[in-house]
Amino acid sequence: MSFISRRLASTSTFTMKPTPSKAHHHTPLPSSSFPTGFVLGGIHAGVKKKAGVPDLAVILSTSEKPTSAAACFTRNAFKAAPVLVSNQIIAKNGGYARAVVVNSGCANAVTGKQGMDDAWAMVKATDALLPSKSKKFDNETLVMSTGVIGQNLPISKIITGIESQALEKKDTSVLGSDFKAWESAAKAFMTTDTFPKLRSRTFTIGDQEYRMAGMDKGAGMIHPDMGPASTSFSSAPKQLHATLLGCIMTDAAVSPRSLQSALTYAVDRSFNSISVDGDMSTNDSIYVLANGAASKDGLVIDEESNKDAYEVFKKELTDFAADLAKLVVRDGEGATKFVTVTVKNAPSYKDAHSIASRISTSALVKTALYGEDANWGRILAATGSVPLLPSAATGVAPVIDPAKVNVTFVPSDGTSPLPVLVHGEPEKVDEVRAKEILQLEDFEVLVDMGMEGEGEAQYWTCDFSYEYVSINGDYRS
Amino acid sequence: MSFISRRLASTSTFTMKPTPSKAHHHTPLPSSSFPTGFVLGGIHAGVKKKAGVPDLAVILSTSEKPTSAAACFTRNAFKAAPVLVSNQIIAKNGGYARAVVVNSGCANAVTGKQGMDDAWAMVKATDALLPSKSKKFDNETLVMSTGVIGQNLPISKIITGIESQALEKKDTSVLGSDFKAWESAAKAFMTTDTFPKLRSRTFTIGDQEYRMAGMDKGAGMIHPDMGPASTSFSSAPKQLHATLLGCIMTDAAVSPRSLQSALTYAVDRSFNSISVDGDMSTNDSIYVLANGAASKDGLVIDEESNKDAYEVFKKELTDFAADLAKLVVRDGEGATKFVTVTVKNAPSYKDAHSIASRISTSALVKTALYGEDANWGRILAATGSVPLLPSAATGVAPVIDPAKVNVTFVPSDGTSPLPVLVHGEPEKVDEVRAKEILQLEDFEVLVDMGMEGEGEAQYWTCDFSYEYVSINGDYRS
């Protein structure tokens, strides 16, 4: 009896491709590009074992104007304590908060009553750092944690760390507003990230210039699905969860309602459109603070009272969120490729988004990307496995016509795209050319469904490598 | 500026654990356990390059009684030609067919009109092998293909192969009814499988003994979601698709309608409850033929006219299908573990099935299984990421109460289970004991949701290893 001998082999070794350095994705930014009216910084409080590694960030709005706050949280049923506490604060305050406190190294998830107490303790200690003359609410701090699940925070170390950041404690406080301050805060977000993720931009509404800056972190358990905070003006108490944390600050003035609606829109098209491994976390949170410090003309951006300004702001926020989200994919655990998956001419945006998501999470597609193999068959199988939504008009789901589907690989270097499936027929693929494209660090997979409706969506994903298995096969030890 | 140096490392090597031999899962079966009235066999027709490797199986019912046939097909939108053709034949014949022809090495998927012509040619060539005196329909053969997508079949080699199996061609035909014949057919199903998957059983209804036997194949692109064939008596033309192929033969007599309903039930609880990599194929098909050759008392099993007999048959078919399905997981690409995921006390069977499916496909859970790490946090995060179905009574989805959830690792060797999460609180886990369980080849992950409804479902999955990446990172070359 002859069996294929593959599985009978004893210990083998696999050689990993050299993974490219990602260091160039973090570079100094001009201090003039950071929003005014914020001070922040990151320190080593002792959550992480290794001395000197930042694990606690404090972000304070020093603006005397009201600081609006909005959030999107994981939809996971097992929401971590910081998610629950932050949602309560935003809801109670009607969309206002002036501070954010973040720790890495421990997620404070599945930690029961102690976890809730610890999250509240972080909030209260940070509240005490805020200028008291602008105090309007009992609690004005949002909290985030990331790291191992099921362990309690070393809370006394964290509280000591927060207290050391009081602005008057000039010997211990690192809070500032220059690049170094922003960078140290971004570093305190990191877990298995290999570089801090910090971006800034300026934008103009009317004659007024504003700034937006922020940081995020990711690496693993990255497949966010986040919904808006449950404030009085959001219809349902939806929440999201993942080990994706992000925080965006702007010196524009935005009404709480419009800040939340702009963030919800932006998150769907950025953080909810990325995948590293298809796993949704219990801690995923994106916060945005708008402190109005640059709003000299008194403009408060609002969807109803000044729609044009709102649309500009929403677009800036969406583009900025996408920039931050892409950094997470680029630095995904074990990632050697950054791949944009575009689906167009689907019946709706939601259908296009579902198909792009399925392609982006397929283990077979992702191992083929790692293997630099133009395996369009796997892309097509993933595409076809998504049930399309029933049409609102007929109640019947539209049917994909295989004879109208096109799949194209688009290189990032400006050279010609390579069609691999045209109108449902496989092309005679030039394998040398395919290899040239797939050896790039960045490229795009374009799937044209050829259907009515013009639904289009983009997703950003990475490949599945030996290193991913290595990182996650032995994470706790 | 200091970056974590992990990603900056140049070429590294990873050492794979020795993967256990699976050869013992294929052993000789007594000829008396095979259903009467079938002849079958597998040969090398030339689809696969390597000489002598079986790639074509022919299965004929020689019973003079009507042979009922039922099928479940992939729900993928890009159904391969053999899926489309077989569904047409079953629908046209009202649930009757007397033969199955199978090739491995080429999936005949995304092959346009030529692919349809080729599938029909396989059907017609196999029809010609059937005893003509029982002929009642134009076409009585179902067809299956598995292998690479987007390539045309070497159809003349296949037709020559089929024709060589005419029963009167005693020098070339290998068709028979003993173990060797069944084994050679099972081998012709294989692609990256490491052992042929063949099982048989006997069962009794009243005084009558019947037999059931069958084979399947899997390895990769295994996450089936199959629906019933679209016959006149099935409500909707649902179809499924994957590189899972299975064929079950019985010498009981079963009405076509009841054979389909029993198969649909069985497939949901067997083949639709396994995952190797979460990827659904374009070719997934399960066929069952019931030729009545052992039905001496004239009983035709039917859900309406003899419900007790039907229930016995349905249970036998479900258990048998689960046995075949589990073999596919055990032989999954790169698999070193066979893990049963049981979810109980969910609001419904569907909720339990969705949660078990999500746990079973989580890359983080599967890499932890490979790493023999009792990482219940990842299990919980996967559990919590599943949206529960709205209650029929209230229209509102029930909410998981984290304080009622239990997670337990159950060893397969009869020793004590190890609770890791009890009523939402992490246990102080004995890591030595956890390692003992996780080092077993077989164990169970039991998630008790603690909710009303008593929904319970099982899923079978394997781990994610370096070898999976190796196999799929370089599949086509």
Domains and CATH numbers, chain A: 23-330 (3.60.70.12), 338-473 (3.10.20.340)
Higher-confidence residue of B371 and A355: namely A355
pLDDT (0 to 100) of residue B10: 38
pLDDT (0 to 100) of residue B366: 87
pLDDT (0 to 100) of residue A474: 61
SS3 letters across B57-86 = EEEEECCCCCCEEEEEEECCCCCCHHHHHH
pLDDT (0 to 100) of residue B230: 63
Side-chain half-sphere of A40: how many Cα atoms within 13 Å?
34
Buried-exposed string B104-130: b where 16+ CB fall within 10 A, e elsewhere:
bbbbbbbbeeebbebbbbbbebbbebb
**Predicted-complex ipTM score:** 0.77
Chain B residue with minimal CA distance to A191? B4
In 3D space, the residue among A327, A323, A305 whose CA is nearest the CA of residue A266 turns out to be: A323
B477 is in an annotated binding site: yes
From CA A375, how far away is CA B156, in angstroms rounded? 27
Sign of the alpha-carbon dihedral angle for B299, B303, B308, B313: positive
pLDDT (0 to 100) of residue A149: 83
Count each helix (H run) and each strand (E run) in chain A, helices first: 11, 18
Side-chain half-sphere of A75: how many Cα atoms within 13 Å?
15
Say if residue A55 is exposed, middle or buried (CB neighbours under 10 Å; 0-12, 13-18, 19+). buried
What stretch of H or E contains B325? Answer: helix B307-330
pLDDT (0 to 100) of residue A12: 52
Banded model confidence at residue B80, pLDDT cuts 50, 70, 90: very high
What digits encode the pLDDT tens for the residues B326-352? 999 898 877 888 999 999 999 999 999
What stretch of H or E contains B166? Answer: none
A272 is in an annotated binding site: no
pLDDT (0 to 100) of residue B232: 41
pLDDT (0 to 100) of residue A86: 97
pLDDT (0 to 100) of residue A374: 81
What digits encode the pLDDT tens for the residues B132-146? 888 899 999 999 999
Query: Is the pLDDT confidence value at B412 over 80?
Result: yes
List of chain B residues whose C-beta atoms are within 8 Å of the C-beta of residue A466: 14, 466, 469-470
Local structure of B447: helix, strand or coil: strand
Active site residues of A: 243
Are the C-beta atoms of B150 and B293 separated by less than 8 Å? no
pLDDT (0 to 100) of residue B15: 60
B363-370 vs A466-473: helix crossing angle, rounded to 10: 70
Say if residue B349 is exposed, middle or buried (CB neighbours under 10 Å; 0-12, 13-18, 19+). middle
Cross-chain residue pair A371–B472, CB shorter than 8 Å = yes
Q: What is the mean pLDDT of residues B209-230?
A: 80
**B204 annotated active-site:** no
Banded model confidence at residue B424, pLDDT cuts 50, 70, 90: confident
Sequence-separated (6 or more) residues with CB below 8 Å from residue A321: A246, A248, A263, A266, A267, A269, A270, A271, A286
B385 is in an annotated binding site: no
From CA A467, how far away is CA B302, in angstroms rounded? 54
pLDDT (0 to 100) of residue B17: 63
- Which residues does residue B285 pair with via DSSP β-bridges, in sequence order? B73, B245
The list of chain A residues with pLDDT below 70 reads: 1-20, 220, 222-227, 230-242, 278, 474-477
Say if residue A127 is exposed, middle or buried (CB neighbours under 10 Å; 0-12, 13-18, 19+). buried
Distance (Å) of CA B73 to CA A460, B70, B209, B246, B357: 31, 10, 30, 11, 19
A19 is in an annotated binding site: no
Measured in angstroms, the CA of B275 and the nearest CA of chain A are apart by: 12
Q: What is the Rg, in whole angstroms, of the alpha carbon atoms belonging to chain A?
A: 23
Distance of CA A384 to the CA centre of its chain: 27
Of B21, B277, B380, the CB nearest to A364: B277
List of chain A residues whose C-beta atoms are within 8 Å of the C-beta of residue B331: 7
pLDDT (0 to 100) of residue A4: 31
Query: Is the pLDDT confidence value at B121 over 60?
Result: yes
| Residue whose pair of structure tokens reads 């004929």 in the numeric block | B60
pLDDT (0 to 100) of residue A250: 98
Local structure of A421: helix, strand or coil: strand
Of A192, A377, A382, the CB nearest to B150: A377
Q: Where are the beta strands (DSSP E) in A92-251?
A: 99-106, 141-148, 197-205, 208-217, 226-228, 245-250
Cross-chain residue pair B468–A425, CB shorter than 8 Å = no
pLDDT (0 to 100) of residue A15: 60
